[in-house]
Amino acid sequence: MRVTVVGLGYIGLPTSVILASAGMNVYGYDVREEHLNNIRQGRTGITEKGFSEKLKEVLDKGLLTVGNTLDGGSDVYLIVVSTSLDKEKNEMDIRALTEASYDVGRVIKRGDLVIVESTVCVGTTEGIIKPILEKTSGLSCRKDFYLAFCPERVLPGDLIRELISNDRIIGGVDRTSSELAKGFYEKFVQGKIYLTDARTAEMAKLIENTYRAVNIALANELALIAEHTGVDVHEAIRLANTHPRVHVHNPGPGVGGYCLTKDPWFLIQNFKGSRIIRDAMRINAEMPDHVIAITERGLKRLGKMLSTSRVCVLGLAYKGNISDPRESPGYEIYLRLKMMGADAVIHDPLVNEYMGYSPVKDVYEAVKGCDAVILATEHDCYLTLDWERIKKLMNPDPLVIDTKNMIRQPPGFYVKKLGAG
Ligand code: SAJ
């Protein structure tokens, strides 16, 4: 079986590698020539465990080839381009997906199966993608070719394992499409496979990330309440979670990444009556401002002003131990610090560059001459910092803002924990 994967990004490329490792003949298509060259040389920027070795193996064996032209030589076309958020309108931007659909429509033939994995608003597969494929191919969906939506559900940081072991939801535009897609995923997925219709599968994916975003917003609001009432929210949540039906998430400096920041907006795009989801997104988006407020108060208590202080943000990745900085709360904090006139710097050992900014790689270099450090990402390396050395490098009366409940009180620092009164 030959499979074409359209879009070799954070999900598309690892998926291609897994398919090739399962013995399929895989062709990876992407329009970015430089990216393709990097992939051929094994330089992808993806630091997921086991990925680089597997990529090298399938490239060496010729099981995976990549290029920027599409042909009709495959039986299955997997569309995995990213869908983004139009931040002005908080609405789905599917230009990349529609373009990919036109490209695939031009090459598919009778009997082919098209699978969409990109996250979309409910109704997109049948209402937008199917008409494009039919129009450009001149073929009829359900009769000549088959179409299913099967959302990716993998967690950055554990991607390779989850690609294989996670359960999958398949929503075909008809029963045959669902069954054909099931046969395809059964070749490499070890988890259960659930069949439904395309609209339900689209909604299920959006529910998953909305559930998480709303629960994080709850944890963030609990942190604000705890600060107000003089309680340590982490201890209160730990105790509440000993109840068998309570699973409170962790508060933090904001929600980053490419999924939780956009998928809830996709879910409510055509439902203007949303209240909980809309408020949750606002609460999460306001957390960087709250971190700035805590920092400002902490500095004031030490007789300093934010506008004349030097502040180091520890962590540019959007979450711990990964190299992905997209929608990073650390970067949001950095931007706000700059806006307030502070001299700001970011440290991150895993991220190379984001928005033209290259973080400092050596933490002891980064904290030199600082008045405050803000722990924004739970990288393991921050658990073993030499605080005595840091104290000597920072200015007198150093402040630490711990937004991730990572450290105990190091001697000689004024520590302020997000969520602790
Ligand atoms: N975060 C918190 N508190 C928490 C958990 C997370 O503040 O208790 C923050 C993180 O620090 C990060 C953001 O939320 O900034 C998102 O991190 P995450 O680990 O919750 O999720 P992602 O975006 O890395 O991956 C999610 C996953 N979805 C769910 O767990 C429901 C993943 O399985 C999806 O495949 C992925 O989105 C996606 O691609 O949709």
Residue of 216, 249, 266, 379 best suited for mutating to test ligand 1, as the one with most atoms within 8 Å of CB? 216
Average pLDDT over residues 152-161: 95
Contacts of 185 by beta carbon, 8 Å cutoff, 6+ apart? 150, 168, 170, 193
Q: Which are the contacts of 48, defined by CB distance < 8 A and separation ≥ 6?
A: 14, 156, 157, 158, 159, 160
- Average pLDDT rounded to a whole number, residues 146-153: 98
Q: Is residue 103 part of a domain?
A: yes
Convert the pLDDT of each residue in 108-117 to its tens digit: 999 999 999 9
Give me the pLDDT at residue 103, please. 98
Mean pLDDT across the chain, nearest whole number?
Answer: 97
Mutate to test the pocket of ligand 1, among 47, 120, 155 (most ligand atoms within 8 A of CB): 155
Atom 34 of ligand 1, nearest CA residue: 153
pLDDT digits (tens, 9 = 90+) for 299-343: 999 999 999 999 999 999 999 999 999 999 999 999 999 999 999
Look at residue 404 and tell me if it is in a domain. no
Distance (Å) from CA 212 to ligand 1 centroid: 7
Residue 319 alpha carbon, nearest atom of ligand 1:
11
- Closest by CA to 175, choosing from 193, 197, 155, is 197
CA of 208 to the centre of ligand 1 (A): 10
Residue 12, domain extent: 2-191
Which residues are tagged catalytic? Answer: 205, 259
In this structure, is residue 227 part of a structural domain? no
**Bridge partners, residue 372, by sequence:** 311, 399
The Cβ of residue 308 has, within 10 Å, a number of other Cβ atoms equal to: 11
Residue 421 predicted with pLDDT over 90: no
| Whether 219 contacts 237, CB under 8 Å | yes
Give the angle 395-398-404 at the CA atoms, nearest 5°: 135
Summarize pLDDT for 51-76 with one digit per residue, the tens: 999 999 999 999 999 999 999 999 99
Distance (angstroms) between ligand 1 centre and the Cα of 154 equals: 10
Quick one: average pLDDT of 42-46? 91
Query: By the 8 A CB rule, do 80 and 15 touch?
Result: yes
CA angle centred on 215, ends 210 and 220, rounded to 5°? 125
Per-residue confidence (pLDDT) for residue 401, from 0 to 100: 98
Nearest to 116 by CA among 198, 207, 25: 198
How far apart are alpha carbons 388 and 382 in whole angstroms?
14
Residue 142 lies in a domain: yes
Q: Which pLDDT does position 366 carry in this prediction?
A: 98
Q: What is the 105 CA–ligand 1 centroid distance (Å)?
A: 33
Separation between Cα atoms, residue 76 and residue 25, nearest integer Å: 11
pLDDT at 355 > cutoff 90: yes
- The answer to whether residue 27 scores a pLDDT higher than 90 is yes
Stretch 187-215: mean pLDDT: 98
Nearest-atom number in ligand 1 for the CA of 256 is: 15
With b for 16 or more beta-carbon neighbours within 10 A and e for fewer, the 151-165 pattern comes to bbbbebbebbebbee
Q: Ligand 1 centre and the CA of 178: distance in Å?
A: 28
Note whether residue 183 is domain-resident.
yes
Q: Tell me the three state secondary structure of residue 86.
A: strand
CA of 268 to the centre of ligand 1 (A): 19
Helices (H), 108-169: 124, 130-137, 159-165
Q: Which atom of ligand 1 is nearest to the CA of 249?
A: 8
CA distance 303 to 350: 34
**Per-residue pLDDT tens over the stretch 77-134:** 999 999 999 999 999 999 999 999 999 999 999 999 999 999 999 999 999 999 999 9
* pLDDT tens, position by position, 388-401: 999 999 999 999 99
Nearest to 128 by CA among 111, 108, 109, 147: 147
Q: How confident is the model at residue 143 (pLDDT cuts 50, 70, 90)?
A: very high
Give the C-alpha separation, 45 to 382, whole Å.
22
> Is 141 within a domain?
yes
Q: 146 near 169, Cβ under 8 Å?
A: no
pLDDT of residue 3: 98
Distances (CA, A) of 345 to 243, 309, 310, 336: 41, 11, 8, 12
Identify the burial level of 357 via C-beta atoms within 10 angstroms of its C-beta, where 0-12 means exposed, 13-18 middle and 19 or more buried.
Answer: middle
Q: How far apart are CA 373 and CA 406, in angstroms?
A: 13
Which is the closest atom of ligand 1 to the Cα of 324? 24
- Write the DSSP assignment of 186-254 as a string of letters: TTT--S-EEEEEHHHHHHHHHHHHHHHHHHHHHHHHHHHHHHHHT-BHHHHHHHHTTSTT-------S-
Count of domains forming the chain: 1
Secondary structure of residue 103 in the 3-state scheme: helix
Q: Report the nearest-CA residue for atom 40 of ligand 1.
A: 259
What DSSP string describes 37-75? Answer: HHHHTT------TTHHHHHHHHHHTTSEEEES---S--S
Q: What is the pLDDT of residues 277-301, one digit of tens each?
A: 999 999 999 999 999 999 999 999 9
Please give the number of the atom of ligand 1 that sits closest to the Cα of 220.
7
Residue nearest to atom 4 of ligand 1 (CA): 250
Sheet holding 64-67, edge to edge: 64-67, 25-29, 2-6, 76-79, 113-116, 146-149, 168-172, 193-197
pTM over 0.85: yes
Protein residue closest via CA to atom 28 of ligand 1: 209
Q: What is the per-residue pLDDT for 402?
A: 98
Q: Which helix (H) or strand (E) holds 324?
A: none
Residue identifier of the C-alpha nearest atom 25 of ligand 1: 155
Candidate of 85, 258, 319 to mutate for ligand 1, largest count of ligand atoms within 8 Å of Cβ:
319
- Give residue 88 CA to ligand 1 midpoint distance, Å: 23
Q: Quick check: is 187 in a domain?
A: yes
State the CATH number of the domain containing residue 91: 3.40.50.720
State yes or no: pLDDT of 45 exceeds 90. no
Sign of the CA dihedral with 90 first, then 92, 95, and 97 last: positive
| Residue 53: per-residue pLDDT | 96
Binding pocket residue ranges, ligand 1, CB within 6 Å:
152-156, 208-209, 212, 216, 249-250, 252, 255-257, 259-260, 318-319, 329
| Domain contains 120 | yes
The confidence score (pLDDT) of residue 265 equals 98
**CA 390 – CA 364 distance, rounded (Å):** 6
Q: What is the DSSP letter of 274?
A: -
Point out the ligand 1 atom lying closest to the alpha carbon of residue 215.
8
